[in-house]
């Protein structure tokens, strides 16, 4: 909703080298749905902490999103998220399942509860990022008002 129908002037700008535009963010979220969250949940449930998660490529979308429109990516993400939520509910996780342990390649032991919480926060982080990156496009047009908006300096 935040991104539907906007021009590329808004959605293709980023915050400098190795940062994401709103377009990149949506590709990154798609890659996470396809390769990260679900497979890590599965690994915790099937292998516990006997095997480390596959490291996540934070820049894969630069290649994977090529040639696609933002509208296509938004539709793709929406579909994947619906499927993954359906799958997650189908697991019928119990309270004590949330304490099951997995092994993160950098962070070491993590619980399923921590993984699920991080999935939520990851979304919210990227929503905030999209809002911030778009806000910065207007910085030059705001005149003296800029000083009231600390977000523009992040």
124 is a site residue for a copy of itself (CB under 8 A):
yes
Signed CA dihedral, 111, 88, 47, 54: sign only: negative
CB nearer a copy of itself, residue 46 or residue 141: 141
Regarding 121 and contact with a copy of itself (CB under 8 A), the answer is: yes
How many C-beta atoms surround the C-beta of residue 59 within 10 A?
13
Residue 113: CB minimum distance to a copy of itself, A = 6
154 part of the interface to a copy of itself, by CB under 8 A: yes
How large is the C-alpha radius of gyration of the chain?
18
For a copy of itself, the binding residue among 2, 75, 85, 91 (CB under 8 A) is 2
Q: At 82, is the secondary structure helix, strand, or coil?
A: helix
- State which residue, 62 or 145, has the beta carbon closest to a copy of itself: 145
The count of residues in the chain is 154
């Amino acid at each position: 909703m935040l991104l539907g129908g906007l021009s590329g002037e808004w959605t293709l700008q980023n915050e400098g080298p190795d940062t994401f535009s709103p377009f990149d963010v949506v590709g990154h979220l798609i890659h996470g749905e396809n390769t990260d969250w679900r497979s890590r949940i599965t690994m915790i449930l099937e292998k516990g902490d006997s095997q480390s998660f596959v490291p996540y490529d934070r820049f894969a979308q630069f290649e994977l999103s090529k040639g696609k429109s933002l509208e296509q990516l938004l539709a793709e993400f929406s579909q994947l998220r619906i499927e993954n939520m359906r799958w997650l509910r189908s697991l019928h996780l119990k309270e004590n399942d949330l304490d099951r342990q997995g092994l993160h390649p950098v962070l070491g032991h993590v619980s399923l509860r921590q993984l699920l919480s991080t999935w939520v926060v990851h979304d919210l982080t990227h929503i905030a990022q999209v809002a911030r990156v778009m806000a910065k496009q207007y910085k030059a047009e705001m005149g003296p008002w800029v000083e009231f908006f600390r977000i523009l300096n992040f």
